[in-house]
Amino acid sequence: MAANRRHVLAGMGATLAAGALMGRARAQEPGRKFGYAIVGLGSYATRQIMPRLKECEHARLVALVSGTPAKLEQYGAEYDIPATHRYSYADYDRIRDNPDIDAVYVILPNSMHAEYTIRAAQAGKHVMCEKPMAVSAAEAEAMIAACQQAGVKLMIGYRSHFEVHNLHAMELARSGVLGATRIITSEHGFNAQPNQWRLDKPLSGGGSLMDIGIYSLNAARYLAGEEPVEVSAMEFTDRSDPRFATVEDRINFQLRFPGGALASCVSSYTSNHNTYRVHGPDGWLRAEPATSYTDHQMWVHRDGKTEQVRLPTPAKNQFVAQLDHLPEAIMAGTEPRTSGTEGLRDMRIIEAIYQSAREGRAIPLTA
């Protein structure tokens, strides 16, 4: 990976920036929808993302990349993607020659995110990349640098930033109606099934924290509305459980924020959680499920009363809003709301969480 990264980074040039500018011009053509190539036709790509592309206002599915010819055939037929727009991993770099592809959406195992993002940038394409952005902060930095050098946008698939309950929670927590935020709890976990890449460290980069605990971390940060200055963590993994030969199971962590808020976060591969709470002197809010695909629920307690928050159904669900956001940012010439920098911040804190659990001490964080 490192040698490959050096290779692809070394190959970048000014022509890439020119290609990206053309991409921007094309995205602005009236009536033309922004074309995504999906890389990796696994569960999240085929069940959540590809069906939602049909609902987008600004985007559409134009190409597929997979190592499995049968999947290219099946989804190519289902989504009307011609053979000229179906690529193997070996063919991937040829996306450079396809003007219908504006961006690549990387939905591969975590340790492949950096390579496929950097190669997309090298081909002059904008990038949407799934969470976790990479398996280390160094890789995340290389991805940002590659996209900057190529003049393309990089966005991370943090879909909760486009979901109305989560947006409402951010607004409430930051508005002061609960008083200054004092305590945040954020819990995410599920019982991991055996025999999958998520449990294989070379592919996943780590266990529950990389996969699901990152939701606890990201939510604590967006609810606090500022960056933590210190982290401490504790891990427990039963190494006799064959699922956890190479990755961690539970790793809980605490974050201290400069404004005085403390966050307690759960990350688990052996228990089910999907909730957060924000407490201030004047009330609290609770979301459960908080960051699920659908069926979000939220309650607010103020003046001695607890009320369920009922929000109107938005015109765009979180997936559609996320997919439309990248072309919107390109057309506006702004950074995406969940840029590579947002992904890098999580990666740096994740590394500090692992370090804290390993060394049994709190780790200071720098911005």
Binding site for ligand NAD (CB under 6 A): 40-45, 67, 107-110, 130-131, 157, 159, 197, 203, 211
Closest CA to 365 of 260, 351, 131, 141: 351
Beta carbon of residue 118, minimum distance to ligand NAD (angstroms, whole number): 16
Cβ proximity to ligand NAD, 45 vs 137, nearer residue: 45
Beta carbon of residue 127, minimum distance to ligand NAD (angstroms, whole number): 14
Cβ proximity to ligand NAD, 181 vs 339, nearer residue: 339
Cβ proximity to ligand NAD, 45 vs 209, nearer residue: 45
> For residues 182 and 218, what is the distance between their CA atoms, to the nearest angstrom?
17
Beta carbon of residue 129, minimum distance to ligand NAD (angstroms, whole number): 8
**Helix, strand, coil percentages for the chain (3-state, nearest 5):** 45, 20, 35
What tokens were used for 92? 């991937």
Cβ proximity to ligand NAD, 179 vs 202, nearer residue: 202
Closest residue to ligand NAD, judged by C-beta, is 42
Is 316 assigned a catalytic role? no
Is 201 assigned a catalytic role? no
Beta carbon of residue 251, minimum distance to ligand NAD (angstroms, whole number): 16
Q: Give the count of alpha carbons within 13 A of 122, CB side only.
A: 20
> For residues 142 and 109, what is the distance between their CA atoms, to the nearest angstrom?
18
> For residues 43 and 330, what is the distance between their CA atoms, to the nearest angstrom?
28
- Check 215, 222, 269, 354 and give the catalytic one: 215
Question: What 3-state DSSP class applies to 156?
Answer: strand
Beta carbon of residue 185, minimum distance to ligand NAD (angstroms, whole number): 21
Q: What are phi and psi of 248, to 5 degrees?
A: -80, 155
- Check 87, 105, 116, 131 and give the catalytic one: 131
Strand 250-256 vs strand 230-236: parallel, antiparallel, or unpaired?
antiparallel
- Amino acid symbol at 74: Q
Q: What is the dihedral of CA 110, 111, 113, 115, to 10 degrees?
A: -170
Cβ proximity to ligand NAD, 126 vs 159, nearer residue: 159
Q: What are phi and psi of 168, to 5 degrees?
A: -65, -40
Q: Are 142 and 5 in contact (CB under 8 A)?
A: yes
